[in-house]
Structure 1
């Protein structure tokens, strides 16, 4: 046996030697070392030779051996342009044989409904799959995986992505991606294991995710998302930590899907631990503000259950107070000392105020058109003063409310080489302050509305407003010139002028046969009271030319007072605006009080008082509750017995009590049954707003509402020419319904479907109402 093995080993060694000799005899020409006199590329179709030369690691005159040819092949493969690369030698010429990868001639996506084709095409282009580019199979495989991930994130776990690559002439291919989306998997059940202190029903309220319910079509709460689940688990953790369960822990989370990929089951295992109470509250460190000012900011009490939320908010209040006192870099840390045996925790607030910080300079950037002084007069944070985070925030809000800028940002970098100074850098992005507009609108009360206006809100960069407008409809025609200087004085007192001329045909507007032409010239002043409120007063001259027509009440008024009037008015107003935005507000309110009186010596002597208020209360991140009211009263004095009827208040219509024709509520003429309005108005509304469940840009421009409206007008003076006079709450009209408001690219549109709740005989009702080109 040993002899046989020895013979076998000897034969193997001979075979290896023979193989090495044969390999050396058949070594390719490229393996020999030679100096390159020229480089030739074979097999190119679309790619220029120069492109290949740019990627080559060798040039003419270089010496090439077998250690270099491998690098050449790797460099060309790395470009992604070629499926095959060979290196050969023709004398002293380096020959490169290549086979180009096909180019993408067409990309077609079919079957996708949940994700738009344009969005998919843009995403494919970003990854590298685009018409005209070189086709790479590995890129297509990666895209299929990414598409699956995108659909999984939308709850479509049954999605199937099928890609077909069809060869075309001239080394091109067509890529067809077929998407079979399948049904969206719905959450069937969320199981909580380990809860004892709180019921599963109570804890489930902390989850935005949940099984399908009546409003799932809107909230999409039954569509699983990893990010949403992570958010819900953090909310659950906060729920326990805010109730003293410091040792609360989420032990595991399991997400399973049914075999048919239509139902999802979520199981969360928790460990509650025991609740801890607060045994002591301490302040430590070096606060620069007396402890007597800091302790009221700590919303914790000894004996109460520990709350992480209350602790964090207390630390933030202390930090904000220190920041407002000039300690911009104050640091407040909370350290809970836990006593496991007693189930108690002592909370210590460590306060490090640091040095008091001053503002060296306030710098303005980006205001290429607006003058510096326009920005600086809105700043509440001043140079050389203590730094205040609250004043910086107010400064930014005031700059944003100017309406001159698309964006306002403020940074507070530390001054190099100084530990107690910062600069306040204000950066603005200006938007066009001028507006030249011409448009067309429609209102059911006024018909087609044509308008044209020229407005310069920031005239020559001074912050002054200059405007000229023309509006015309079947009922009214208005010409107007306006000027406003918001800083007539350095203290922020405004001054404005107004010239206007209005022609009104009340027959077209409310159906009553009379008309009035009114010219106005006035001046007004405004006085800032706070950052959110202003008071103002003004005076104006008004010329009225009145035509009675067939209206008995109009004819009676002309007989008693004439038809041409020269009147002088004094007015006062107060406005408080705390809304977070003027369009689709979600919180805050708008309160307006206005009063005017025609002074003695005027042809007509009367006064009017109006109070309006709107309140917006956020219920959730999507729902906003709104309350609004409008009360107005007017009467005559001196030689004028009552409020001139063409100055009456009106109610009903899209912007008042929906469900009734505009301006149709209240007293009517006995003979003609035309509405004439009244000198007392009460109108109100309760409404629940929410963005439309469509997503994308429409979420910001489309708003839905469910409303309850009420209101009417009364004539307090007795008259045989009117159907009813006197005050009676039983005259109030009520309606309920749905509203839609869309800020479309061509103008604002509003729609309402209202159901009158107490319609009476003779009322002019209108279930569907809409307007176009109105201001909201």
Structure 2
């Protein structure tokens, strides 16, 4: 079949040739060429395409070739050549130009996504237009909707002529209702029951959350992914000859429901008898053998075979062989149901990288991506460095997808280009946190961050806490490449005001202001060392309002915790309290280290995160040491289940003859530490006011099991988790503390509960309902207050 564009050109050419006898001319020398009918096309474009110029000899054959060349530009509806003496008159009629493309009735897709789909087929603002292109656009839009299970989508194109031979295009879409999957069947299975196999599929008949997960809306790409998951399931369990015989998707006459049937042939189960190497291994057979993960005697595992061949190809890549081919060829003994895997390798030719091409980054600057690459232009191709570079770009957190492809350079047998394609995501986030208690009522926190300011890769964040008792504002700015070598720099400014939690605590206040600068020095690809220095000022105002409380048989006026009065050298009785050290200035120096090899910073399923920090008060009246260490480990139990552990240890002490600053204490309780207790409420408390004081030692342990949310299938954005938390903060025993009080404060606290994790448009949201299982009850006989519990908590933008 002749394409519409070629057919139009052929028809016009035939018309021109049919008229040739009337305009036929003997060959002559062209004296001049005149153009008629041009509106927007540049004359130079026509002259460059004609193949004729003044002084050339004109013939009918050359005239026909010129007409064909002009039609091939795709810019003209009609082309004619007239002869006036020895002057050629080229008469053209331009195709209309698209002035605007708009959509009406589109709800399933963002307009930008549809515009991109049409741009890929050649329809966009400023490009020539014809009816055939409009028909292709309609079919492309319908294809996009079929991909979303909207089989009844209708598209009507409206073409509105404008002045200067332009047109506006409006695509009016009636989307209709998506077709729903009512049943999925797997036929032919014997070793596994059908329910086990169907649980592998992301597409199903839908649960009560199908309106959110859309798992019952058929999409060919998702269905193909499910088939690959099914194939992988069998191939990793020894079924080497597993086949998917056929698939049927039966759509109802009204195109509203469909049934899916997958016919399979399991084949026999095979065990691995051995592994052989064949081909050219560059004389490094021992190196390659160490990469083999296929184990003789074990059931055949397709994942192990694929991992081995990939490891081989990657290892060839470290020596510059970008086109190495490694093929796994099974030698099957069906009688014994055993297989020998022959790994045949052909390294091909060695190559170096000519150019690094970056695409898809409409916002992020090229340099932000390039500086993460460890494979340089002009250097030998190195597969290990390319993978590392791709992972580094992905860990920036600016993109939903990062893809690196190797492309051969035409005309060269030893050069390749690396085509890096990224899909950007919004990098600004809004963080909200809330909790409820009988004392603090509703406490709120707010934060807004931009991780990629103006596409520069820099971070800017503002955090605000509006609680009645703890108000703070913090501004942080990070330049991850302060130096070309990758040293980062972070500035932080903050102001915090802390007030008592209870009315009985009086109205004392601790205000702090300060700033710091911190540099991050990359040691290797996973480890970073941090060095920082700051200046802080603390201003303490003792309480003037309070009440009398019975303590050890005597009434004490409780306006301020005694620990604060002691540290700030306060004397007198409220409201006439004088503090000799009410203003304190500190210079904290920090040294830190972190290592992060998690597979994702947002929803990790494997890997670990470690960090350690040492803070030292130097060159001021605040002389202290404060250390903390955190360890997170994620263990994938299966595709659906992940087990996670988190541990935190902290230790602090005063240096020299000074006292440890009470406002530098560790705190525990609430989100981020031990759920089920009020935020920062655990640990030592003031004997008089009952207010939380924190401690100089901290130990926290968390364990979470993440599972699918009921009705959500395998959707990873909405998950259910169960957790167990334990720990506390501890301090030195005071002289007035009884044995019972000492034991009560130093006993571990624990809780367990259930939570929901949702990757919401505002960020990761975590809801938790916790039940304290080890906690302190009120003991009036020994002067011990009950722990402050808080069973329901939620926060956006937090982990653990």
TM-score, normalised via structure 1 length: 0.64
Number of the residue aligned with 2:607:
588
Q: Is the Cα–Cα contact under 8 Å of residues 319 and 331 in structure 1 kept in the other structure?
A: yes
SS of match in other structure, 2:497: coil
TM-fit CA distance, 1:223: 3.1
SS of match in other structure, 1:664: coil
Number of the residue aligned with 1:763:
788
Write out aligned runs for 1:455-494 (5 A). Answer: 461=484, 469-475=492-498, 476-480=511-515
Change (3 A) 1:96 1:199: same
1:664 aligns with 2:689: no
Moved more, 326-335 or 29-38: 326-335
TM-fit CA distance, 1:139: 0.8
Change (3 A) 1:252 1:231: same
Change (3 A) 1:213 1:572: same
Change (3 A) 1:52 1:449: same
- For 2:95 and 2:372, the matched residues in 1 are separated by 59
Number of the residue aligned with 1:500:
535
- For 1:607 and 1:466, the matched residues in 2 are separated by 23
Number of the residue aligned with 2:463:
441
Number of the residue aligned with 1:617:
635
Paired residues in the alignment total 678
Number of the residue aligned with 1:338:
332
Q: Which has the larger radius of gyration?
A: 1
Change (3 A) 1:512 1:741: farther
Give CA-to-partner distance per residue, 1:410-469, whole Å, 9 cap, x none: 99x9xxxxx9xx9xx9x9xxx99999988643024643414366x777666576677665
Give CA-to-partner distance per residue, 1:542-577, whole Å, 9 cap, x none: xxxxxx983333335667999769999999988665
Number of the residue aligned with 1:717:
733
Write out aligned runs for 1:178-193 (5 A). Answer: 178-193=172-187
Number of the residue aligned with 2:101:
107
- 2:146 aligned residue (139, 142, 152): 152
SS of match in other structure, 1:474: strand
Give CA-to-partner distance per residue, 1:719-756, whole Å, 9 cap, x none: 66899542465754566544668898xxxx77654445
Change (3 A) 1:275 1:751: closer
What residue ranges of structure 1 are gaps of 5+ in the alignment?
1-25, 414-418, 514-547, 693-698
- For 1:281 and 1:232, the matched residues in 2 are separated by 30
- 1:301 aligned residue (280, 296, 308): 296
- For 2:347 and 2:87, the matched residues in 1 are separated by 77
Write out aligned runs for 1:549-568 (5 A). Answer: 550-555=560-565
1:258 aligns with 2:252: yes
Q: Is the Cα–Cα contact under 8 Å of residues 606 and 636 in structure 1 kept in the other structure?
A: yes
1:629 aligns with 2:632: no
- For 2:649 and 2:159, the matched residues in 1 are separated by 71
Q: Is the Cα–Cα contact under 8 Å of residues 39 and 93 in structure 1 kept in the other structure?
A: yes
Write out aligned runs for 1:34-433 (5 A). Answer: 55-56=49-50, 74-75=68-69, 77-84=71-78, 99-168=93-162, 171-217=165-211, 219-279=213-273, 294=289, 299-302=294-297, 304-313=298-307, 334-348=328-342
- For 1:483 and 1:572, the matched residues in 2 are separated by 9
Q: Is the Cα–Cα contact under 8 Å of residues 103 and 172 in structure 2 kept in the other structure?
A: yes
Q: Is the Cα–Cα contact under 8 Å of residues 512 and 674 in structure 1 kept in the other structure?
A: no
SS of match in other structure, 2:733: coil
Q: Is the Cα–Cα contact under 8 Å of residues 396 and 409 in structure 1 kept in the other structure?
A: no
Moved more, 551-560 or 261-270: 551-560
- For 2:235 and 2:136, the matched residues in 1 are separated by 42
TM-fit CA distance, 1:233: 3.0
Give CA-to-partner distance per residue, 1:303-359, whole Å, 9 cap, x none: x5444434454566788899999999998765433334444434456689999x9x9
Greater RCO, CA 8 A, separation 6+: 2
Number of the residue aligned with 2:15:
none
TM-fit CA distance, 1:113: 1.3
- For 1:502 and 1:44, the matched residues in 2 are separated by 75
What residue ranges of structure 2 are gaps of 5+ in the alignment?
1-18, 359-365, 409-413, 421-451, 499-510, 548-557, 572-578, 710-714, 778-785
- For 2:541 and 2:719, the matched residues in 1 are separated by 33
- For 1:485 and 1:238, the matched residues in 2 are separated by 42
TM-fit CA distance, 1:676: 1.9
